[in-house]
Amino acid sequence: MIGSWTDWELTEMGIVQAENIARNIRKEFPDIRFAIYSSPLKRTRQTAEILGREIHSMPKLRDELKERSLGKAIGRSVQWLRENIENEEKTIYDKCFSDAESRFDAWNRLFPFFNEIMSSDNENIIIVSHGDTLSIFNVMWLGLDPEMLNDIDLSGVSGGVSFLYRKSSGKKIIKRLSDTSYMLPL
């Protein structure tokens, strides 16, 4: 199935993996308070709620963190997408369907949220989102122009945990990117 805005719940395996991620984060950072922001789509919201229960933080749902809308393809199979795609996406400005978002549209949707959390007083933030949205976020984090997304992807994978740090000097570091070991039991 096409992820995008298709709104399905976590599977039993997804719930177990989310519980493992939550326990592993709590074990690694037992004394750190986190602010949690999540896409409101069911699969991410459920992941954020499991994490929030474990680390005692209520997730804040943000539409900006939704995956990129693929318009007519939402709720359809990948095969349907391949057979019915209207436009090939060669740049961040292209849309696979007339009613879809381009990656640049998703950039513009995400950018105000990015600026908000970058200027917030929260030192430790967890974002529960989707692969393409996280790729866009990671490019923002590095301070790159949106057009860099024509040449690179720094995607998140399902269940992957990334650690982004900003030193007091302002230097930004990606210490881990989509580390799936957090899905394993303790």
Structural domain includes residue 4: no
**At 3, is the pLDDT very low, low, confident or very high (cuts 50, 70, 90)?**
confident
* pLDDT for the residue numbered 40: 98
What domain range is 58 assigned to? Answer: 12-183
Q: What is the mean pLDDT of residues 110-114?
A: 98
How many angstroms separate the CA atoms of 156 and 11, rounded? 19
Residue 131: inside a domain: yes
CATH number at residue 172: 3.40.50.1240
pLDDT tens digits, 126-185: 999 999 999 999 999 999 999 999 999 888 788 999 999 999 898 999 999 999 999 999
Helix (H) or strand (E) holding 38: strand 35-38
129 in a domain, yes or no? yes
pLDDT of residue 186: 86
* Residue-by-residue DSSP string for 127-180: EE--HHHHHHHHHHHTT--GGGGGT------TT-EEEEEE-TT--EEEEEEEEG
**d(Cα 107, Cα 116) in Å, to the nearest integer?**
14
Q: Is the residue at 7 inside a domain?
A: no
* pTM (predicted TM-score): 0.94
Flag whether 22 is in a domain: yes
Q: Is 44 part of a structural domain of the chain?
A: yes
- Residue 6 included in any domain: no
Q: What is the pLDDT of residue 137?
A: 96
Report the domain count for the chain: 1
